[in-house]
Structure 1
Amino acid sequence: MRMKPVGERDPVAVGIAGLLVLALVGLGAYRADSLPFIGGGTAYSADFTESAGLADGDEVRIAGVKAGEVTGVSLDGNKVKVDFTVEDAWIGDSSTVGIAIKTLLGDKYLAVDPLGDAPQDPDSRITVSRTTAPYDVTQAFDGLGETIGEIDTAQLARSFETISATFKDSPPDVRGAAEGLSALSRTVSERDAQLVRLLKGSKQLTRTLADKKSSFETLLKDGNLLLAEIQARRDSIHLLLTGTRDLGTQLTGVVEDNNKQLKPTLDSLGRVTAVLVKNRRSLDKVLSLTGSYNRLIGNTLGSGRWFDNYVCGVVPRNYLPPQEPEVPGCMPPKQGGR
């Protein structure tokens, strides 16, 4: 049977068919994540009584191994609907899903326990009877702090003491229990202020940790980068350490090889030093006289190529002019050598 060319077909029918094809292609592109062999896994949903801090992008783990992620957390009536995807993992029709605590800073993840004989229908939502949510410790401390603040501990202590007095004639077991309650009430009453401060401090600590969550994460990431860099430079650090060790070995050998030549030289230097120390006073006197002598030589030769000098007592006194003053200690020698 010969097929009609497109040009001979009804243009209205061809246009409608083309629009349907384009709509299917657009829908496929929009829901590409849900398509087999293309999307990011099989999509499931579960009902919880509370979200417990779970958020989009949190991990989905099966037997402790990451198998997917949470894609949505929304309120559905009096329940919380959690959408998640799982890749390359089997989930049975009796599987249980729980919100678990990942870190002390409050991160959560979705823990799936794959149970059942038949696979879970992705279009059938997992009911609340098969889901669990953790109890938030921060909320517990906050609620306990508020409750302790509203309790009249003194009145509570008097109530327990009244109970103890009422059961004082009861059997030993009952009387012991009542006395224990009375002692407990007195302890709580005496430690009321300390307990309130402890709970307030715990509340402040949890808030501080929550506020510094990003800082802790950055610190851990930076520490991981540092360790990775040290790992990458391990060979270089090893070569540096081995090179330093070899250098120390070579220096030790050099010292040992030259010890015979250096030892006599050092001994002679020690003897010279000892002689100099022994004649220290003579050396000091020589140095002081040398200073005066050098100054005299400098004054004599300081006029260039001429000698600048002064000779005293060469001419007799009677040959000098009358106005020439007599210089004490500078007289000519007497006749006869005396």
Structure 2
Amino acid sequence: MKIAVPKEQADGETRVSATPETVKKFIALGADVAVEAGAGEGAAIADAAYAAAGARVGDRAQTLAGADIVLGVQGAEPAGLSGVAPGAWVVAGLNPFGERARVDAYAAAGLEALAMEFMPRITRAQSMDILSSQSNLAGYKAVLDAAAEYGRAFPMMMTAAGTVSAAKAFVMGVGVAGLQAIATARRLGAQVSATDVRSATREQIMSLGAKPIFVENVAGIEGEGSGGYAGEMSPEYQAAQAELLSGHLAKQDIVITTALIPGRPAPRLISDAQVATMRAGSVIVDLAVESGGNVEGAVAGEVVERHGVKIVGHRNVAGRLPADASALFSRNLYNFLNAFWDKEAGRPVLDAEIGDAVRLTTSGQVVNARLLGA
């Protein structure tokens, strides 16, 4: 069983799908691991470290030749996987809804594509969940990015020259990224408030010492939506939320938006008119900018200024912390394959619950129910 770790080809991708730590663990299972030279450069991992862990380091062709499993952070283009074994697994973040043509190409190439972001939100799969591990880092980094753009201090400071007021930070969307953003902003000394359409998150917000901002007297979503995400809200709720948030946004210095709906454009949470009500020098970080954006005027890959407010739209925010992001991502991949490793077969054998959830293609066909029903 050969596992290949090619260098990521996507623009700006700094992460790598295996570290020397996980290479050692795969080898301990009996796998042969090949790493493309330079694969870990973005995450400050030298080729020598992979070699010391037992991997064979070579060029791309050598790495992929005969590979049974190809690991990735972002899925490689099928045309760039020549030389792999027939029916090889591609195990990575594959963006199935956004890259449907690539999924079809995996099927046409006879590859078995396993999308790690389709990992079911169940207890035994928590250690395999790339969305949670990467969102956690993104929520943290979003606050640091906001602090870097904000021209004032976060905490209240009492000095001989006078008092500096604490920044007011507002987190919109209280999933993994939002919860980490709340905790990070609180640690930096900001006064933090947060909101979500899922009413069950109220207690989570309060447990972190933040103030919950919720629409009253209009039903939201009780508990979690599908897969741990919120669903789309009724027009009545959206109108009530817009009215409530408009007044609150005008008083905020920092806003972090994190709302995503799988398979659909990100919901619009902040309009240009609402941005105009915020005071000059305020900062908004849109973590959903690559999915269409929560903020009107946000531009993927750029920091723009509208009405004196900076709107931060960095791409691949978790990848801005490449060493930690790679460490967590690679452990997710190892935990997934290790959980199903069959010692007699010398390879992982998936079960139906998780296998059917993550498998996009097999035997030349697209087989995932979520894609076929999209």
TM-score above 0.5: no
Counting strand residues as a fraction of each chain, which structure ranks higher?
2
TM-score normalised to the size of structure 2? 0.17
Q: Which has the larger radius of gyration?
A: 1
- Which one scores higher on RCO, CA 8 angstroms, separation ≥ 6? 2
TM-score (norm 1): 0.19
Q: Comparing both structures, which one devotes a greater share of its residues to helix?
A: 1
